[in-house]
Amino acid sequence: MNLKDHLLLRIQNDGPMTIADYMTDCLMHPVHGYYATRDPLGVQGDFITAPEISQMFGELIGLCLAQTWLEQGKPKRFILAELGPGRGTLMADILRATKSVPGFHEAAEIALLEASPVLRDIQLKTLQGYKPQWIEVMADLADLPLFLVANEFFDALPIRQFLRDGESWRERLVGADGTSLAFGLGPQAAQTALSERLEDTQDGDLVELCATAVPILSAAAGQIARNGGAALIIDYGDWRSLGDTLQALQAHETTDPLDQPGQADLTAHVDFEALAIATRASGCAHTKLTPQGVFLERLGITARAQSLTASLGGTQLEELIAAHRRLTHPDEMGNLFKVLGLYPQNAASPPGLEP
């Protein structure tokens, strides 16, 4: 039975399902899930991410984290963690760029949170020579200073959608229409998690909630507040969710999210305000939300690109120029992607980001 038939049967038995349950099955079902069964990244895959576009991305992130580690007095043991490491490219670039920072590698214990067995195998190969540990949940992290990065992780977490209807909400659900999956609306209900959104929304507005993001982020923020460290959360999204951002990508093209469950990547924009609220509630400070292009420019991506171009010619040179543009230009990833930094209240904010 394919995933669509499995979902139709489930809907027949239990009724329409939340978008979060739908996303969870589509992405992580052990037999049919999109991430659980394949490597989706790269030119040949369905989408490409910043670390896969250029090594410069991970190098600058590595130097940003290492500088923060130096400024915090070089803690002798710390966790260098990544959430959703994909192919392990970002972590490999971070480690290569920080090799020459005295004491950094000796102090670092690498921890990866990855749900996909296929991607874990690839990470193991990419990070050969280092000793990464895979964690199942955030509570598995050793209680040490935490330096963490997450690129395009939070956008893969399941969201629920709610449509404003008078003073209450109707949840957008996935149901069946004959042999097809179809969106529908649940009954009117009050939503305590959305009580404040009654103030800034109108009838017919749609808002999204990502319940799984908060405990993950709170765990990281609490650990940084207690032990020191920093986190860089990089993703597409903005401050406060408004509107339907559920998106399916297949072979670099958007498709209907209900069309081929398990065959397309499903994501939603990250609501950075929700992450910031969870950070503050855990006693941790956060930076201003900063466009990726601005962040990378402040960290010196143009100088890094110029130093790399010195040894390049022909198509390699053209590719590097294109990669620089793609990562930083406001019409490409520069503005759509944002960076939120977490840091202890008594410490300086990470380089490239403002308190």
Q: How far is the CB of 277 from ligand SAH (least distance, A)?
A: 21
Q: By C-beta, is 49 or 98 nearer to ligand SAH?
A: 49
Contacts to ligand SAH by CB under 6 A: 35, 41, 49, 51-52, 84-86, 90, 113-116, 119, 151-153, 156-157
CA 116, CA 86: separation in Å to the nearest integer?
9
Q: By C-beta, is 86 or 344 nearer to ligand SAH?
A: 86
Q: Which helix (H) or strand (E) holds 63?
A: helix 55-71
Among the listed residues 39, 42, 40, the one whose alpha carbon sits nearest the alpha carbon of residue 52: 42
CA 350, CA 147: separation in Å to the nearest integer?
11
Q: By C-beta, is 69 or 236 nearer to ligand SAH?
A: 236
Q: How far is the CB of 156 from ligand SAH (least distance, A)?
A: 4
Angle, vertex CA 213, rays to CA 210 and CA 215, nearest 5: 125
Q: By C-beta, is 28 or 107 nearer to ligand SAH?
A: 28
Give me the residue whose beta carbon is nearest to ligand SAH. Answer: 84
Q: By C-beta, is 15 or 117 nearer to ligand SAH?
A: 117
CB 111 within 8 A of CB 79: yes
Among the listed residues 139, 135, 86, the one whose alpha carbon sits nearest the alpha carbon of residue 111: 135
Q: By C-beta, is 151 or 287 nearer to ligand SAH?
A: 151
Q: How far is the CB of 292 from ligand SAH (least distance, A)?
A: 12
What is the DSSP-derived secondary structure letter of residue 84?
S
Among the listed residues 86, 104, 96, the one whose alpha carbon sits nearest the alpha carbon of residue 50: 86
CA 347, CA 355: separation in Å to the nearest integer?
10
b/e map 265-280, b = 16+ CB within 10 Å: bbbbbbbbebbbebbe
> Among the residues of 188-313, which ranges form H helices?
213-227, 272-281, 292-298, 301-309
Q: How far is the CB of 209 from ligand SAH (least distance, A)?
A: 16
Q: How far is the CB of 270 from ligand SAH (least distance, A)?
A: 12
Q: How far is the CB of 158 from ligand SAH (least distance, A)?
A: 8
Q: How far is the CB of 135 from ligand SAH (least distance, A)?
A: 9
Q: By C-beta, is 104 or 153 nearer to ligand SAH?
A: 153
